Amino acid sequence: MLVVLGVFFPFAAAGLIPLLYRLIPNRRIGWFVMAVPLVLFAGLLSIVPGIAAGKTANVTVPWIPDAGIDLAFHIDGLSMIFGLLITGVGSLVVLYSIHYLSERESLGHFYAYLLLFMGAMLGVVFSDNLMVLYAFWELTSISSFLLIAFWYHRKGSRYGARKSMLITVFGGIGMLAGFLMLYSMTGTFSIRETITLAPELSEQPLYLAAMILVMLGAFTKSAQFPFHIWLPDAMEAPTPVSAYLHSATMVKAGIYLIARFTPIFGGESTWFWTVSLIGIVTLLWGSFNAVKQNDLKALLAYSTISQLGLIMSLLGFGSAALAAGTDAEQVLLAQAGFAALFYMVNHSTFKGLLFMIVGIVDHELGTRDIRRLGGLMALMPVSFTLAVIGSFSMAGLPPFNGFLGKEMFFQAAVTVSSGNPFTADGAALLFPVVGWIASVFTFIYCMIIVYRTFLGPRQPEKVDRLPHEAPKGMLVSPAVLALFVVGIFFFPNLAGKYLIGPAMPAVFPTLAGKPGLVPHIQAWHGFNTPLLMTIGVIAAGIILFVTFRHWRLIYRFPPFRWNLDTVYRGLIGGMETGSTLITKRYMSGNLRDYFVYIYVFFLAAAGGSLFLKGAFKPDFRMETIAVYEVTFVLIMTFAALAMPFVKSRITATLLNGVLGYSIAIFFIFFRAPDLALTQTVIETVTTVLFLLCFHFLPDWKPERAPARTKIINGLIALGAGAVVTGFALTVKGYVVFDSISGYFEDSYTLAGGKNIVNAILGDFRAFDTMLEVVVLFIAGIGVYTLIVLKAKKGGGDIEGK
């Protein structure tokens, strides 16, 4: 019950927001919303002991059983970590937003979008069905689009929302293709069943393609190089959104996907090298670019990219355990996966804290530009203290949880470089080297956050407001996160035992129960290689930070000044330009041209396939034809031939009606009264609408068409008639399968319907009919909108009557 509640409770609450928004004062609605993640967080905490003991929570509700799609939800150690982050950090973010957002904002929309996103994320991490996971995955993209574009009056917000949605949805579609390939190989959409079949998949021809497509979905969602470019632009969202989506939840969805699918693909060298290399490159590129940023949120955006790359690389390192030989090697390599999950939890705490502090600085001073800040320590002492805790933790300094995670990263990089099943000519030595360099840049930008913002001389002439400490309510959430940052450092093994340890069997199911899989975490572990690397990071980082003004000019030279945003804008601009040119070519405004395009395409596609594939096998055997059938055929032929030569709209409309009503009569001849009735109604309405429109049109003065136009029209008409006739004759004598009509003839037994047509529409094709009704409903809304709205005189604005 808790599983279903966890997924659908936020959606239900989001549906109540419009009603409550009218009943509850604007400011207080946030307290109602905060109750949702708090209740879910408490519920998840209550089952942590059971999950830590190896139990799981499962619920399966049949949805589309014929397609193998069920609402299957599963909570194990891995999904528990993410569920607690989504609800725990979500509670703090809502509390923070209550004090951060103005009452003048559209808070009803904001909290509805936030709850929608929360439910989608919980659906992603709890789903055990690939198709259900994909549905929630794309829902996170849609809801994040709405949140990023919340301040839609800003051009940057609209641009960032479109960019993030394009890239993440692109990856999601690729991931969907990978899921379908897995289904074709296993015959199941269940993730747990797929994991049990993993040893049999590696020889399948679709295995590698499915692996690459799943990684594509993960890399785009978690902002991995080269798909990282959407994250900095997404910082146009309000700070609560950034603190929630871009530090603790949405960007972690790709991390979750890689961890969840490691048991399926982890034993392959392609998986190891791709995940590890993409992660380590992202770590370096993000940290290097973070140093040059002048906007604090942009700096945090690139730092998030970098930290996500670190976590991703650790998951790649750990995947080698599934191909290692001895138990000792397997356990040692798998500890990199433990480090990935441990660092992910740490990152959510200190990065959420830093986003909130940057939001406070922006909220109180009206700017995030480092060049305009400085000397805030004395005026904002609490914010300064919290910023030091978050920044030093991200830099990997004690006594903060980031130090433990950074040490574990260095240890994993050294371990995987010294020996793993996929080591090739010492290439793995790049991991500790690149990781150390990236950590130096991480140290530098962490010092920039602290020293350039809170220390140094004040610049009151460059800010619009008098600096002062934030309200107490706004400081509660970052203070709670700061307690976790410090608390995890002193009690890391509580997290290891109750959170990270229970998740290891989900990532490495074949290693479950082996001693040492869950390592004992300690701050002091002697003078070993990771500690020496940390000391080197601090020394090099201090030197480079002090001398930054002397070497920052390197960012002006290639390849350091290259920006993948240029490639993105070029691609989008090229597609827009190309589509505009193509559209202008065929959107001539002439109805005849549109019919020419349609029928030429029909002739090329249908006629070409019919004749080029050798499928044209006409059957000229004649059935018994009644005199009345011949009579109506002659009537229809006369109406069709006469229509192009009449000079009156009314006459042409009546001749067209003759064709339509004749077809209805033929339906009666062939025992299809329902179709005859439908055809009669449609023909009557069409004729009436034609005559009604002609009443408002100017008099028709037929112009003499050029001979070339008439010849083209005639050839197209003859060609279309020939193709349709060819298909009719071919189908008449081309019986390969038994007719499906025999199945539908039993409609009364199967669907309880005495009318076969109604049974097909209302039962056998119920989904299709429902979607058609939705389309008509949307079209009706559009028509209604166009009727009730009118343009202002002398302007382009729209106003309601």
Q: Domains of the chain: which residue ranges?
A: 266-556, 580-766
Nearest partner of 227 among 270, 185, 171, 186, judged by Cα: 171
312, 215 Cβ separation under 8 angstroms? no
**Burial of 621 from C-beta contacts in 10 A (0-12 / 13-18 / 19+):** exposed
* pLDDT for residue 293: 93
> How far separated are the first and last CA of the chain, in Å rounded?
49
Rounded to an integer, what is the distance from CA 564 to the centroid of its chain?
Answer: 20
* C-beta of residue 304 within 8 angstroms of C-beta of residue 287: no
Other C-beta atoms lying within 10 Å of the C-beta of residue 245 = 27
Q: What's the CA gap between 384 and 556, in Å, rounded?
A: 32
SS3 label, residue 201: coil
Tokens of 34: 């905060």
Closest residue by Cα to residue 246 from 288, 292, 306: 306
Question: Cα separations (Å) of 576 from 124, 166, 571, 573, 718?
Answer: 33, 14, 9, 5, 37
Number of residues written out for the chain: 801
Specify the amino acid at residue 664.
A
What is the per-residue pLDDT across 731-747, written as a single tens digit (0 to 9) for each? 776 666 777 777 777 77
- Please determine, for residue 447, whether its predicted confidence score (pLDDT) is greater than 70: yes
Dist CA 697 CA 29 (whole Å) = 54
Query: Quick one: DSSP state of residue 763?
Result: I
Task: Write the pLDDT tens digit of every residue in 50-90.
Answer: 999 989 999 998 888 888 899 999 999 999 999 999 999 99
Q: What's the token pair of residue 632?
A: 């109506």
Tens-digit pLDDT profile for residues 493-511: 999 999 999 999 999 998 9
Structure tokens at 46: 């209550």
Element housing 62 (H / E): strand 57-64
The torsion angles phi and psi of 69, rounded to 5 degrees, stand at -110, 115
Token pair recorded at residue 477: 């959430």
431 φψ region: left (φ > 0), alpha (ψ -120 to 50), beta (else): alpha
Element (H, E) at 72: strand 69-75
Q: Render the burial of 247-258: b for 16+ CB within 10 Å, e for the rest.
A: bbbbbbbbbbbb
CB-CB contact of 9 with 33 (8 Å): no
Buried b (16+ CB within 10 A) or exposed e, 197-225: ebeebeeeebbeebbbbbbbbbbbbbbbb
Question: What does each C-alpha distance from 335 to 123, 452, 513, 521, 764 come to in angstroms?
Answer: 28, 37, 13, 11, 52
Q: Which two tokens stand for residue 657?
A: 């009606």
Q: Is 153 left (phi over 0), alpha (psi -120 to 50) or beta?
A: alpha
**Which residue, chain included where needed, has tokens 């000229």?**
620
Of 523 and 356, more confident: 356
Pairwise CA distance, residues 572 & 396, whole Å = 39
- The chain-wide mean pLDDT, for the chain, equals 88
Q: Where are the alpha helices (DSSP H) in 587-706?
A: 591-602, 608-612, 627-642, 649-669, 673-696
pLDDT at 424: 60
CB 319 within 8 A of CB 256: no
Would you say residue 427 has pLDDT above 80? no
Quick one: tokens of 13? 């609450």
Residues 666, 669, 671, CA angle at the centre, nearest 5°?
115
- Please determine, for residue 793, whether its predicted confidence score (pLDDT) is greater than 60: no
List, for residues 552-576, the tens digit of each pLDDT value. 888 888 777 777 888 888 888 899 8
Residue-wise pLDDT tens digits, 133-190 = 999 999 999 999 999 999 998 999 999 999 999 999 999 999 999 999 999 999 999 9
Of 232, 30, 25, the C-alpha closest to 114 is 30
- pTM confidence score: 0.83
For residues 90 and 115, give the distance between their C-alpha atoms in angstroms, rounded to a whole number. 9
For residue 426, name the pLDDT band (cuts at 50, 70, 90).
low
pLDDT value at residue 26: 67
The two three-digit tokens of residue 141, written as one number: 């993209």
* pLDDT at 612 exceeding the cut of 90: no
Helix axes 253-265, 327-365, angle to 10 degrees: 170
Please give the torsion angle defined by the CA atoms of residues 387, 389, 394 and 397, in that order, rounded to the nearest 10 degrees.
140
Is the Cα torsion angle 490, 496, 498, 500 positive or negative in sign?
positive
The whole-number pLDDT of residue 794 equals 43
DSSP-assigned letter for residue 252: G
- Residues in Cβ contact with 439 at an 8 Å cutoff, skipping those fewer than 6 apart: 287, 396, 406, 410, 533, 537
User: Which of these ranges, 71-80, 294-303, 641-650, 672-681, has the smallest mean pLDDT?
Assistant: 641-650
Task: Name which of 218, 286, 213 is nearest 252 in CA terms.
Answer: 218
CB 283 within 8 A of CB 310: yes
Kindly indicate the confidence band of residue 644, based on its pLDDT and cuts at 50, 70 and 90: confident
Helix (H) or strand (E) holding 306: helix 296-319
Q: Using pLDDT thresholds of 50, 70 and 90, give the confidence band for residue 704.
A: low
Q: Which amino acid is at 655?
A: L
